[in-house]
């Protein structure tokens, strides 16, 4: 188990002992960490003694009181800054010294724990720092191996997964505290919103699985002669209940079978995403037309909707991971922001391309071109 060294510098034995007791059996776990972290605590009663420990047995984390008998905490902090030591410093302060806190922050203090603190406050601060230490190490390592992009992706993902959890947790707490009184009906909205967030999270997880599949590459690809019009029809049938609910008419236009050598699951992912987007970002009584046409050496799929449309600026962003266009019109539409990024990655693997034409308030057209002779890279 990896261990982080924590040094507590405080002239009050009670605080030092308290910190040691609270953190002695504390472990920090994180979904992306393989192992839990634990801690070794050392103590110093003065800033001078603290600096000695820093020099002889460098801690990862320093919990630092400012009011010390000899040199002040802020001077210890300046020492660390001057020597450019990579130690994460948390100031233990009381509210009275807010000005000091500002100064400490500009000298590189990472966090503050107000005095007196609860064990929970200390633990959550240490937990955040541990994650930071871990991620900092990971960043360096990933950077070295050229996996920075993957890492950025993971950190955004963790945000995307946490947001719905926080929302649901918040509602549950409000319900537990009976904030709207004793009637269960008065909590219906909170319950509905929680369920909606859970749905969103589930679709994110499903999209994640698709993306993992796409990125893990060709190994599992199962190429067969497919009739794309059948794939499109299945996708439309799956989506029809949703379309009816939104009063959107779906239409498939093609001339006979549209054969292409491709992986059935991957083609399903493409059609599902494009058609569900066309319904989602449509208007009441809108239309979605899906054309499949054979051209010289390639297959062209066009999904045309009469929806809310996008600006040129929006179009430039929509194929990136986790991008969702946020404006008044899209406010109540949920999604993971991964769908189009998955579609684009898939199409590239078939040496195809995707283009978008869109006018705000009139609709969007997604045009896919897939080569017939050269089925995939």
Partner 1 sequence: MKPSNYTILIVDDDPDYLIQAQARIKGFGYKTITAEGQKEAEALIEKMRPDLAILDLMMENEDSGFILCYKMKKRYPDVPIIILTGVTAETGISFDIQDDNNRRWIKADLFLDKGIRTERLREEMENLLGKK
Task: Write out the residues near partner 1 by the rule CB under 8 A.
Answer: 95, 98, 105-106, 108, 110-111, 114, 121, 124, 128, 131-132, 135-136, 139, 151-152, 155, 158-159, 162-163, 166-167, 170-171, 174, 179, 193, 197, 326, 331
Q: Which is closer to partner 1, CB of 110 or CB of 291?
A: 110
The span from the CA of 231 to the CA of 221, in Å, is 17
**Tokens 């049938």 belong to residue:** 237
Q: Which is closer to partner 1, CB of 162 or CB of 199?
A: 162
Minimum CB–partner distance for residue 238 and partner 1 (Å) = 28
Minimum CB–partner distance for residue 119 and partner 1 (Å) = 13
**Tokens 């601060």 belong to residue:** 125
Minimum CB–partner distance for residue 308 and partner 1 (Å) = 17
DSSP code of residue 310? -
The span from the CA of 243 to the CA of 117, in Å, is 54
Bridge partners for 294 per DSSP: 299
Minimum CB–partner distance for residue 73 and partner 1 (Å) = 18
DSSP string across 235-258: HHHHHHHHHHHTT-EEEEEESS--
Q: Which is closer to partner 1, CB of 24 or CB of 143?
A: 143
Sheet holding 287-295, edge to edge: 249-254, 287-295, 298-305, 363-371, 353-359
Minimum CB–partner distance for residue 177 and partner 1 (Å) = 10
Q: Which is closer to partner 1, CB of 171 or CB of 281?
A: 171
Minimum CB–partner distance for residue 361 and partner 1 (Å) = 18
Q: Which is closer to partner 1, CB of 125 or CB of 306?
A: 125
Q: Which is closer to partner 1, CB of 151 or CB of 291?
A: 151
Sheet holding 3-9, edge to edge: 38-44, 3-9, 61-65, 88-93, 111-114
Q: Which is closer to partner 1, CB of 3 or CB of 124?
A: 124
Minimum CB–partner distance for residue 237 and partner 1 (Å) = 32
DSSP string across 315-346: HHHTTSTT----SGGGTT----S-HHHHHHHH
Q: Which is closer to partner 1, CB of 109 or CB of 267?
A: 109
Cis omega (within 30 of 0) for bond into 192: no
| Rg of the chain, C-alpha, whole Å | 28
**Tokens 């070295």 belong to residue:** 144
Q: Which is closer to partner 1, CB of 155 or CB of 212?
A: 155
Q: Six-digit token pair at 223?
A: 């190429």
Bridge partners for 8 per DSSP: 43, 63
Minimum CB–partner distance for residue 180 and partner 1 (Å) = 9
Closest CA to 93 of 71, 67, 69: 67
Minimum CB–partner distance for residue 155 and partner 1 (Å) = 4
Closest CA to 370 of 301, 316, 309, 272: 301
């Amino acid at each position: 188990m990896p261990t982080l060294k924590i040094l507590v510098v405080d002239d009050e034995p009670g605080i030092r002992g308290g910190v040691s007791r609270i953190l002695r059996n504390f472990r920090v776990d994180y979904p992306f960490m393989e192992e839990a972290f634990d801690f070794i605590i050392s103590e110093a009663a003065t800033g001078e003694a603290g600096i000695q420990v820093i020099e002889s047995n460098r801690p990862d984390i320093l919990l630092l009181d400012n009011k010390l008998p000899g040199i002040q905490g802020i001077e210890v902090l300046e020492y660390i800054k001057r020597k450019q030591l990579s130690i994460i410093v948390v100031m233990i302060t009381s509210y009275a010294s807010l000005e000091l806190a500002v100064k400490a922050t500009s000298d590189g203090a990472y966090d503050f724990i107000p005095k007196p603190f609860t064990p929970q406050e200390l633990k959550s601060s240490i937990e955040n720092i541990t994650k930071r230490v871990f991620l900092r190490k990971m960043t360096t390592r990933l950077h070295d191996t050229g996996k920075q992009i993957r890492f950025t992706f993971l950190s955004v993902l963790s945000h995307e997964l946490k947001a719905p959890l926080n929302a649901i947790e918040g509602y549950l707490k409000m319900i537990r505290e009976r904030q709207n009184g004793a009637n269960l009906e008065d909590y219906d909205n909170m319950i509905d919103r929680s369920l909606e967030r859970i749905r969103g999270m589930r679709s994110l997880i499903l999209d994640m699985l698709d993306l993992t599949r796409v990125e893990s590459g060709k190994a599992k690809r199962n190429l067969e002669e497919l009739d794309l019009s059948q794939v499109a029809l299945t996708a439309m049938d799956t989506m029809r209940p949703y379309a009816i609910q939104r009063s959107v008419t779906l239409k498939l236009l093609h001339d006979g079978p549209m054969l292409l050598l491709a992986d059935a699951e991957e083609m399903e992912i493409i059609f599902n995403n494009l058609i569900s987007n066309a319904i989602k970002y449509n208007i009441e009584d809108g239309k979605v037309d899906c054309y499949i046409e054979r051209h010289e050496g390639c297959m062209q799929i066009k999904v045309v909707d009469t929806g809310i449309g996008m600006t040129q600026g929006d179009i430039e962003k929509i194929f990136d991971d986790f991008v969702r266009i946020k404006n008044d019109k899209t406010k109540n539409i949920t999604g993971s922001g991964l769908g189009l990024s998955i579609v684009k990655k898939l199409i590239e693997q078939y040496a195809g391309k995707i283009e978008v034409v869109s006018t705000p308030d009139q609709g969007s057209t997604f045009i896919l071109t897939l080569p017939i002779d050269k089925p995939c890279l």
